[in-house]
Amino acid sequence: MATRYFGQPIKRNEDPRLLTGQATFTDDVHLPEMLHVAFYRSPYAHARIRAVHTEAARAMPGVVAVYTADDLGAYWQPGPLLVPPPPVKEIIFNPRMQVPLARDKVRFVGEPVAVVVAENRYLAEDAAEQIHLDVEVLPAVVDLEQALTPAAALVHDDLDQNLNAHVIQRKGDYTRARQQADIIIQRKLRYDRGTAAALENRGIVAHWEARNQQMTIWDTTQAPIPIRNGLAGMLGLSEKQVRVIAPFIGGGFGPKIMMFYQEEVLLPWISMRLNRPVKWIEDRQENFYATTQERGQVHWAEMALTRDGKILGVKDVFLHDAGAYAPYGLTVALNSQCTLLGQYDVAHYYSEFTSVFTTKPIVTPYRGAGRQHGVFVMERLLDIAAKELDIDRVEMRRRNLIPPDKFPYSNEIIYQDFAPLTYDSGNYLPALARAVEMIDYERFLREEQPRLRAAGKHVGLGIVTYVEGTGIGPYEGAKVTVEASGRVSVATGIGTQGQGHFTSFAQIVADQLGVTPEQVRLVTGDTAEFYWGAGTFASRGAVVAGNAIHAAALAVRRKILKKASDELEVDEEDLELVDGAVRVKGSPQTAIKLGDLAVRANPMRGAVKPGTEPGLEATDYFGPERGATASGVHAMIVEVDPETMMIEILRYVVVHDCGAVINPMILEGQIHGGVAQGIGNAFYEQLVFDEHGQLLNASFMDYLLPTADTVPRIETDHVETRSPLNPLGIKGAGEAGAIPVGPLFAQAIEDALHDANLEILEIPLSPSRLYELVAEAK
Amino acid sequence: MKPAPFAYFAPRSLDEALALLQEHGYEAKLLAGGQSLIPAMNFRLAQPAALIDINRIDALSFLEPASDGGLRIGAMTRQRTVERSALVAERAPLLHATMPFIAHMQIRNRGTLGGNLAHADPASELPAVMVALGARFRLQSQRGARWVNAADFYVGLFATTLEADEMLVEIAVPPLPPRTGWSIQEIARRRGDYAIVGVAATATLNADGRCHAARLVYLSVGEGPIQAHDAVAALHGQAPTAAVIAAAMRGASQRIEPLGDIHATPAYRRQLIEVLGRRALTEAFARVQPT
C-alpha cells in the first residue's frame, strides 16, 4: 500500500469554505414561511407545577402558537435511555429521563416548560416573557454529599432516595493489598462542574413538507443517524421520510451527542402541526442551562504502597453528579472508574460509585467525559505518596508504569463499551522519558529552580501521565464512489464538528485510489447520503469511521484493479494506481484514467456481468471488538505570584501516543484545543450554583473561558504505538489534550509555592481559592 | 437574548437630545457606545422604554488642550481615541496608561469616555482614575449646566448625581501638579476582564522628598471609586520608603470592606487591596520627576 498522504500534515480541504464564510451552519438555513421558536424555561431548580398560564403570551402580536406539556398529548414521553446499564453484578440502576416539556415538576433551572412559536425570535421572546408559572417551590438538591441524606428533597418522587446508580467493580483483592502495604495514602478529592461552551450553540430547523410527506431536520447533533431513527419513531414516520442533516457545526465536545434534547423532540412536532418550517437557535444564556454539562464528583480515595514506592492497590469510592435526569446511563462515571489506574500496573483495585440525582442541568459526557476525575485522583495520590516516601515524582511513576511486554493489559473491570477494560497496546516509558527531556526536568530541578527561588521567584514544574480509552464500537460505515469525472466521493454517517474529517478521511482514500486528497469529496452527517452509523463521540471518528472508509476504499481499489485488469488484459498484480489512473507497472503509457474506468463500469450498452455491480463503488463497515487505549504525558512550568496568586505558564509540553497518525497538523490542533479546554477547566471555568440551584455565572462575563493570553505555546511530540485492533493502527485523539491538566496544575502550583506546605485536592482552582488554600495550610 | 420593545430616537443636536431627555426622564436611556447597555438590554436586565442615541451629536466628540495645562474631553469621545491620543499621553499619562486595561480593543473602539463614567460601574477603571486625577464633569440639561467634582459625582452602586434630565457632556482633566507621580495597578482573571481589584494612585513629593499629597483610589472594592484616605494620611510628611508604604497599606487595607463574589472572597480582595496599594504607591513615588 502506498502511503503518500497518510501521515502528512497537509492543509485542510474544508478550510477555504470555513474561512471565507461559505460553510452552512444550522443558523444559515433560511426557508420561506419559517417561524421562530423561543422557550419558556423554569426559573426554579425544583418546584411542583400548579399551572402554566399562557393566555397573555398567546394574545401577543405575531404569536402563532404556544404549547405546554398538556398540548403534546401522547407525544409527551420521557426520552429513551441511550446507554443501558453495564453488565456488572449487584448494580443498582434507576434510569430517569428528561421530558419534552415539564409537566408535574421542574427539576432544574432552565428546564423547558412552554414553547412559543412566532413570526420572529424577538416576538417569541416578548411572548415568552408573558408566561407565568404557578408553582410550589421545593428545596433544591445541589450538594452531592447532601443529596443522599434523608433530609434531601426527592428529585424524582417515585424513588425513595436520589440514587441514580450504584456500581462496584473490583480487580484482585484490595483488602489483602492493603494489609501488605508499608504506607497508605488517603485523601478526599473534588472536581466541580464546567460547560463545554462550544463556539456554536445548539440549533434546529425542522421542515415538514406535507405535499412530499417528508421531514427535513438540520440539527447541531454529533449523531444524525440515531436522531433520524429516534425521531421517525416518535413522529410515526418511516425512517425514509426523515432526513437529518448535521451541517458544519462549531464544536461538539460531547454535549451535542446528548439525545434527545427537548428542543430536538419539539421542533419537528411543531413543524408538522403548523405545516411550516420552524427554527430555534439556542442563545448563549440558554446554553448555560439547557445544554448538558459535566464534571461534578467527590472521591474518597486511598493508595496502598510499599516503602520503595510500588503501588499495591487502589481503593476509590466516589459520588457522581448526574444532574436532574440521566439519559446517558453511566458512561461518565464508568470512564472515571476505568481511567483511574492510568498507565500504572496495579494488581488490586476496588472502585465503588454512587451516581446521584440533583436539581441541576443534565450531565452527559463532555470532552474527557469522566476520565479527568480518575486521572486527577491517581496522579494526586502518586504525588502525595512520592512526597511521603521521599521519592522523585518521575521516578515514582517510572517504577509503576505498565511494562511494554505486558500488553494487551487487562484491568478486568467493565468499560463504557461493556467490554472488559483491556489496553490494546502501549509503550509508556519512552513518552515519559521524552517529556522529561523536553521540559529539561533534571536541569530545571537541579539548577534553574534553585536559582529562581534564590531570586525570589516562585516557579514550579508539573509532570503527569494519563490514558484515554478511545475508538469504541459499535461500528461506522462508508460508501466510496469513483465518479465519471475521476473525482471520488465518500459518504459516512458520523457528524463533523471541526475535527478535519474532510481532510484526514480524504487522505486515507487518496492513498488507496491513487488520487490527491483534494480530489476526494466527503459528505458526512447527512442521513440522505449514508443510512447507517452511530455518531462522533468517545474519540472514535478517526478510528471507527476512518477504518470503515479505509475498508470501503480498499473494496473500490479491488474493483478498479479487476475492471482494469479485464480492460487492459493485464494481471492485477502488474497494475498500480497513480495520479488518478490505473497503469501498468513499468509501462506508464498503458493506463486508464479512473473516470474512464468508472464510465466503462457503468456501460450504456451491453451487460454488467452477473456477480458484479455497476460502477466503481463500495460500501463497507468497521466495528472494533473493543476500544483502543491512547496515552500521553503533559508537563509544564508555571510561575505563581505568591502575593496575588496570579499564574503564568512558562512552558507546556505534550508527548502523545495515539498510534498511527493520519495528519500530524490536525492532531496538533486537537491537542492544542484540548489543552486550552483543560487549562480553562483547571484554573478559569467553574459553574457556580447557589444553595437554591441557581447558576450564578450564566454568561461569558463571569464564566471565564481560556483566552489567547491564558493559553501558552504548546510544544508537542509523538510516540507511535500502533493499535492492533484496527487495520490502520490508529487510536483516538479527540479528548487527550483536556484530560490530565487538572493534576498537572495542582502539582506545578504546589511545587511553585513549595514553602506554603500546600496540598491541592480540588479542581477547578482560581487565584482567590489558592489564596484561601494557602491561608488554611498555614 | 433579544431586547424588550423600546422606542428609539436619534437626535442630531445636543438641544434635541436634552429635549428628549427632559420629556422621557428616567424612562429613557442614553445610548453612547452601548458596550454595557446593549448586553444588559439583551439579557432584559435593562428594559428602557426609550433609547436616545447620541452618537450623531458631533459636538460631544472632542479632545483638546485646556488652558490650565490639562484636557477637555467631550463625553462621546471614543475610548480608543483617548488611548491613542499623544495629547493625553503627554498631559494625563495616568489616563493614557489606564486605557489598555479597559476591556478589549474592539470594545474601546466603540465605548465612550462619558458613557463609561456615567454608567458608574464600580468595577470600571475610569471613575477611579478620574477621582485620582481630580477631574470635573460638566452636566447639562435644558435647565442649564453645572460642574461636579468626580469624587462627588459617584454616590453609590451604578448611581451618580445626574438628574433625570441631565447628560454628562464634558470631562475636564487638570494637569498633574509638579513633583507628582502616578500608577495604575489591577488584577483581572484574564486580560480585559473586570478587575478583581484595581487601584489608581497619584503621589506628590515636597521639595525635601517627603510626601506632600497623594490619592489612592480603588475600583471593585465597594459601591464606587473608594479612596484610601487613611493610607494617604499615614504617608503625609513621611519619606516614602518601602517600610513606610507597607505600614500605611497594612492599616488602610483593614478599613476597606470589600464584598465577596464568585471570583474573589473578601479576604482575597483585602489582600489585593494591600498588595496593589503598596505596588501603586511605590511606583507613583518612583515616578516623581525632580524639578
* pLDDT tens per residue across all 291 residues of chain B: 999 999 999 999 999 999 999 999 999 999 999 999 999 999 999 999 999 999 999 999 999 999 999 999 999 999 999 999 999 999 999 999 999 999 999 999 999 999 999 999 999 999 999 999 999 999 999 999 999 999 999 999 999 999 999 999 999 999 999 999 999 999 999 999 999 999 999 999 999 999 999 999 999 999 999 999 999 999 999 999 999 999 999 887 778 999 999 999 999 999 999 999 999 999 999 999 776
Place of cell 401577543: A60
Helix (H) or strand (E) holding A372: helix A371-389
Tally Cβ neighbours within 10 Å of residue A137. 12
Could you give the CA distance from residue A68 to residue A114 in angstroms, rounded to a whole number? Answer: 5
> Between vectors from CA A698 to CA A746 and to CA A221, what angle results, nearest 5°?
90
Contact A643 B262 (CB under 8 A): no
Instruction: Using 70 as the pLDDT threshold, list the residues of chain A that sit under it.
Output: 1-3
Residues B235/B245, Cβ–Cβ less than 8 Å: yes
Residue B1, domain member (yes or no): no
DSSP-assigned letters across all residues of A705-725: ---TTTS---EEEE-----TT
Distance from chain centroid for Cα A669: 15
The partner residues of B154 in beta bridges, in order of sequence, read: B160
CA-based nearest distance A689→chain B, Å? 10
Could you give the CA distance from residue A176 to residue A183 in angstroms, rounded to a whole number? Answer: 14
CATH code where residue B65 lies: 3.30.465.10
Could you give the CA distance from residue A218 to residue A24 in angstroms, rounded to a whole number? Answer: 10
Contact B43 A285 (CB under 8 A): yes
Burial (Cβ within 10 Å: 0-12, 13-18, ≥19) of residue B127: buried
A696 touching B, CB under 8 A?
yes
Q: Closest to B2 (Cβ–Cβ): which among A125, A696, A775? A: A125
- Listed in sequence order, the residues at least 6 apart from A511 whose beta carbon sits closer than 8 Å to its beta carbon are A1, A2, A3, A4, A5, A6
Q: B103 and B24, same structural domain?
A: no
Residue B64, domain member (yes or no): yes
The partner residues of B43 in beta bridges, in order of sequence, read: none
- What one-letter code names the amino acid at A403? P
Q: B280 and B207, same structural domain?
A: yes
Residues A257/A666, Cβ–Cβ less than 8 Å: no
Length of chain A: 778
Strand locations in chain B, DSSP E? 7-9, 28-31, 50-53, 63-65, 71-74, 136-141, 144-149, 154-156, 159-160, 167-173, 180-188, 195-205, 211-219, 226-227
Report pLDDT for A262: 98
Report pLDDT for A417: 85
Query: Which residue segment(s) compose the domain that B13 sits in?
Result: 7-53
Residue B95, domain member (yes or no): yes
| Residue of A700, A768, A772 best to disrupt the B interface, most CBs of B under 10 A | A768
Contact A772 B190 (CB under 8 A): no
Distance from chain centroid for Cα A238: 30
Q: Is A520 helix (H, G, I), strand (E, B) or coil?
A: strand
Question: Which one of B173, B189, B218 terminates a domain?
Answer: B173
> How far is the first Cα of chain A from the last one, in angstroms, to the nearest whole number?
64
Q: How many CA atoms lie within 13 A of B29 on its CB side?
A: 18
Contact B268 A768 (CB under 8 A): yes
- Listed in sequence order, the residues at least 6 apart from B235 whose beta carbon sits closer than 8 Å to its beta carbon are B203, B211, B214, B244, B245, B248, B281
Could you give the CA distance from residue A396 to residue A179 in angstroms, rounded to a whole number? Answer: 21
Search chain A and give the residue with CA nearest B272: A644
CATH code where residue B46 lies: 3.30.43.10
A122 touching B, CB under 8 A?
yes
Which of these, A507, A476, A543, lies nearest to A725 by C-alpha position?
A543
Which runs of consecutive H residues, i.e. helices, occur in A544-591? 546-568
CA-based nearest distance B176→chain A, Å? 30
Q: B92 and B22, same structural domain?
A: no
Which of these, A121, A190, A174, lies nearest to A765 by C-alpha position?
A190
Report pLDDT for A1: 45
Q: Which residues of B touch A766 (CB under 8 A)?
A: 189, 263
Search chain B and give the residue with CA nearest A39: B1
Length of chain B: 291
Search chain B and give the residue with CA nearest A690: B262
Helix A371-389 to helix A331-339 angle (10° resolution) is 30
Residues A741/A681, Cβ–Cβ less than 8 Å: yes
Here the ipTM equals: 0.96
Which of these, A683, A734, A736, lies nearest to A706 by C-alpha position?
A683
A590 touching B, CB under 8 A?
no
User: Buried b / exposed e across A156-184, counting CB within 10 Å, b at 16+?
Assistant: beeeeebbbbebbbbbeebeebbeebeee
- Listed in sequence order, the residues at least 6 apart from A141 whose beta carbon sits closer than 8 Å to its beta carbon are A45, A46, A147, A152, A153, A155, A162, A357, A358, A359, A693
Helix (H) or strand (E) holding A132: strand A132-137
- What one-letter code names the amino acid at A350? Y
Q: Is A243 helix (H, G, I), strand (E, B) or coil?
A: strand
CATH code where residue B270 lies: 3.30.390.50
Supply the DSSP symbol for A25.
Answer: B
Q: Give the CA diameter of chain A.
A: 90
Could you give the CA distance from residue A455 to residue A143 in angstroms, rounded to a whole number? Answer: 44
User: Buried b / exposed e across A548-583, counting CB within 10 Å, b at 16+?
Assistant: bbbbbbbbbbebbbebbbeebebeeeebbbeebbbb
A702 touching B, CB under 8 A?
yes
Search chain B and give the residue with CA nearest A710: B190
Q: B34 and B68, same structural domain?
A: no
DSSP-assigned letters across all residues of A326-364: -TTTTHHHHHHHHHTTTTB--SEEEEEEEEEE-SSPPB-
Q: Give the tens place of pLDDT for each residue, A724-768.
A: 999 999 999 999 899 999 999 999 999 999 999 999 999 999 999
Could you give the CA distance from residue B86 to residue A298 in angstroms, rounded to a whole number? Answer: 56
Phi, psi (deg, nearest 5) at residue A462: -130, 145
Contact A709 B191 (CB under 8 A): yes
Helix (H) or strand (E) holding A146: helix A144-147
Residues A321/A358, Cβ–Cβ less than 8 Å: yes
A668 touching B, CB under 8 A?
no
Place of cell 483534494: A518
Q: B169 and B64, same structural domain?
A: yes
- Listed in sequence order, the residues at least 6 apart from A301 whose beta carbon sits closer than 8 Å to its beta carbon are A186, A187, A188, A189, A314, A315, A316, A317, A318, A377, A381
C-alpha grid cell, residue A164: 441514580
Q: Which residues of B touch A285 (CB under 8 A)?
A: 1, 43
C-alpha grid cell, residue A662: 493520519
Residue B291, domain member (yes or no): no
Q: B161 and B63, same structural domain?
A: yes
Which of these, A522, A530, A539, A559, lies nearest to A621 by C-alpha position?
A530
Could you give the CA distance from residue A583 to residue A576 in angstroms, rounded to a whole number? Answer: 6
Q: Closest to A702 (Cβ–Cβ): which among B5, B192, B262? A: B262
**Number of domains into which chain B is organized:** 3
Query: Hey, where are the domains in chain A?
Result: 366-472+626-773, 474-622
Search chain A and give the residue with CA nearest B186: A644
Q: Closest to A284 (Cβ–Cβ): which among B1, B44, B262? A: B1
Dihedral class, residue A236 (left if φ above 0, else alpha if ψ from -120 to 50, else beta): left
Q: Which residues of B touch A129 (CB under 8 A)?
A: 4, 44
Strand locations in A173-240, DSSP E? 183-191, 203-209, 214-219
A3 touching B, CB under 8 A?
no
Which runs of consecutive H residues, i.e. helices, occur in A282-342? 284-290, 331-339
Give the mean pLDDT of chain A.
96
Q: Would you identify the CATH topology of the domain A474-622? A: Aldehyde Oxidoreductase; domain 4 (3.30.365)
> Between vectors from CA A172 to CA A171 and to CA A173, what angle results, nearest 5°?
120
Q: Closest to A704 (Cβ–Cβ): which among B189, B268, B272? A: B189
Question: Domain A366-472+626-773, CATH 2.30.22.10 — does that match?
Answer: no
Contact B271 A285 (CB under 8 A): no
Q: Which residues of A touch B185 (CB under 8 A)?
A: none
Q: B140 and B75, same structural domain?
A: yes
